[in-house]
Structure formats: C-alpha cells, structure tokens
Amino acid sequence: MVDRVGAPEFANWSCPLPLKDYPTIVMGHGGGGKLGNELVEHLFLPAFRNPELENLGDAAVLDAGSGRLAMSTDSFVVQPLFFPGGSIGALAVNGTVNDLAVTGAVPKFLSASFILEEGFALRQLAAVVQAMAAAAAAAGVRIVTGDTKVVERGHGDGCYINTAGVGVLRPGIQVGPQRARPGDAVLVSGTVGDHGMAIMSVREGLEFESQIRSDCAALNGMIGDVLDAAGDAVHAMRDPTRGGLASTLNEIAQASGVGVEMDEGSLPVRAEVQSACELLGLDPVYVANEGKAVFFVAAEAANRVLEVLRAHPLGREAASIGRVTEQHPRMLVARTAMGANRVIPTQIGEQLPRIC
C-alpha cells in the first residue's frame, strides 16, 4: 500500500548510510544510546533543521516575541500511514497547525514525538519524516524538539506521532466557539468529506477504486488572509476534523447558545465523495476533513470573506452554507432539498456502515 501511493525510496534520503545497518526499527532506537542518536543525527536533524532544534538540548529555547501564546496538542494514529493526498506525517503537522490557526494564533513552533513499533521499516519512517518536513516548511512552522520511543512488536501499529504546537495570538483577536451570534453567515472553505472518504477508499477490506484525495493541508495562510480582510467580523472558526461538519456546527451552536440553520443543497460535496457515501450508507456531514475551515462571520462581511477564501488556492470551492438563528437554540437544523427540515445531531461514535 505504501509503495502504491509513492512513499519515497529510503536510498534517496539525504544521509542514509549509517542507518542502512538497520533497515528496521529495533528496541535500541528508543534506548537513548548510539542508535537513537543516529536517528536524530541522520534522519530528524537533516529533515527538520533549524537553529532551535540544532542545540539538541533537553528543551528548545524559543523567542516568541510579545503577545499571548496559544498551545495545542494532538496525536495521530491513522492507518494506512500513506493515503491518497497525504500521510500521517503531513497530518501530524497540519492538524496541530490548524488547531492553532482557528484559535486566531499564528503557528510558530511544533514538537514531534514518535512512538515506533519494533520492526517498522526505516524507509517508511524516512518517508514519514520527509512528509512532516515538507508540511512544516509549507506551513511556515519549525519543529524544534522531539522524542522517540520504541515499543515491542505487536504493541503498536507501526508509527504513532504526537505533535504539540505553540503560536502567537494575533493582537486584538476575538474569535471563539462561544461568539457566534444570530444573523451570522456560516461559510465553509471547500468540499466536505474528502479526507475521511480517501482513508476509507484505501482501508484494508474496503479498497475501492476512486480518485478521492485527502484535503490534508495547513490552513494558517488562508485563515490569515480572512482575518486580515475581515478582522472583528469573524466571530468563530473551526476545522471540522473528526465528526465532520455536523459535529463542528453543533459544537458552536451549543457553545454560543444559538441555532444553526444549514441549507443542505448549498453544501459543497464532490460527486465521487457523495457517491462513495451513498454506497456505504454514510453521510458526508459526519465525515472527517483535514484541510477545511468553517467561519461564522457577521452577515455584512460574508461576501468579502467568501471572495478572500475563493482567491486562496485552498478555498476555491468555498460556499455560504447557512446562518445563525435565535430559533432552536443549541441545535443544527438542515433544510432539505424537499423544503422540509431535519435536526442533525452530534454523532455518538463512528458512523457504522449500514447492512443494506
């Protein structure tokens, strides 16, 4: 599966020679000794190189300038590790970057912790690390500290990654899930359900042929453009990851004590995502995204924000999908194509594929 989606050859890695002695992760790589140092020296450092990391101290020393800090952490356990449109490495960087960005912070520094399973191919680790380095460069953040632990074979799933991130809040920023108000327009930066269905399409036991690619991307640039253009008119932002758009809209409805109305017909969904969802009995509003943001903005700023979104490469398919209302507080209600209404609740667990 890894080969199919083009994980790079380890031989192409910048400094592979000493690592070639051990083509797979052994317990010693997590032992704090020579093997572990080799990983740092020949793999992590060349990939992530920056002044903060190069000190190789017990902690990175950072100059974050002035202002309030935002901090976030997330762990990544996705399978398969490489999928159409992304990888666990890209997710681990973008996920934390996006959590900071939707808080109104400019993401600056990340940590990266790896929990590796004994026997995990170094070639694959190199590919994961390379994907992280590329994602960090694209997002304009630096990976400044990290850790590696190795668990015995059978006690992990190849590779788990935790990242934590620090960002500096934009001065005067006033966004939060509790700030949505009646009258706000609800905007989404593009098609929903791409990431979850891309993963589904390559998951073992369910491979289906499709062109669906994960939307995995760092949103800080696009969100920065929106905040530059609309400032205070942006009341709330979220990236609808696990649980999908429905969970995000419900969370904001509940946090703000308002109702959210969604026009089902205006929801951007790729035809192939919709088709795959129909086949499997899933609803795209519950399927995860990794490169989308939802904005609650004052009605008069909605068109301006849409223009800014559509001018950004990640927001070309942005759409206005609904509004905030005083009615049905704390609930998300969709207007169906038939003109009727239905409540869209928060999902309890994972969506379960139906029998028929």
List of residues contacting another protein (CB under 8 A): 205-206, 259, 265, 271, 274-275, 278, 280-281, 327-328, 331, 333, 335-343, 345, 348-349, 352-356
Examine residue 80 and say whether the peptide bond preceding it is cis (omega within 30 degrees of 0): yes
The sheet that has 234-238: what strands, in order across it? 234-238, 294-297, 185-188, 319-325, 259-263, 332-335, 341-343
Token couple for 289: 């995204």
Cβ closer to another protein: 228 or 350?
Answer: 350
Both tokens of 302, joined, read: 């909605």
The least distance separating another protein from the CB of residue 349, rounded to whole angstroms, comes to 8
Q: Which is nearer to another protein, 51 or 345 (CB)?
A: 345
State both tokens at 334: 């969709």
Minimum distance of another protein from residue 171's CB (angstroms): 40
Nearest approach, Cβ of residue 206 and another protein (Å):
6
Crossing angle between the packed helical segments 302-311 and 220-230, to the nearest 10 degrees = 150
Nearest-angstrom CA–CA distance, 143 and 146: 8
Quick one: 73 or 325, whose CB is closer to another protein? Answer: 325
The smaller minimum CB distance to another protein, of residues 17 and 271, is found at 271
Query: Minimum Å distance from CB 263 to another protein?
Result: 11
Residue placing its CB nearer to another protein in the complex, 73 or 274: 274
> Pairing between strand 259-263 and 332-335?
parallel
The set of residues, in sequence order, having a beta carbon less than 8 Å from that of 147 and lying 6+ positions away, is 111, 112, 113, 114
Q: How near is the Cβ of 346 to another protein at its closest, in Å?
A: 10
Of 49 and 155, CB closest to another protein: 155
CB of 323 to another protein, least distance (A): 11
- Pick 11 or 356: Cβ nearer another protein: 356
Q: How many Å apart are CA 314 and CA 321, to the nearest integer?
A: 17
Least distance to another protein from the beta carbon of 13, Å?
34
> Exposed/middle/buried for 340, CB within 10 Å: 0-12, 13-18, 19+?
exposed
> Which tokens belong to 227?
């905040």
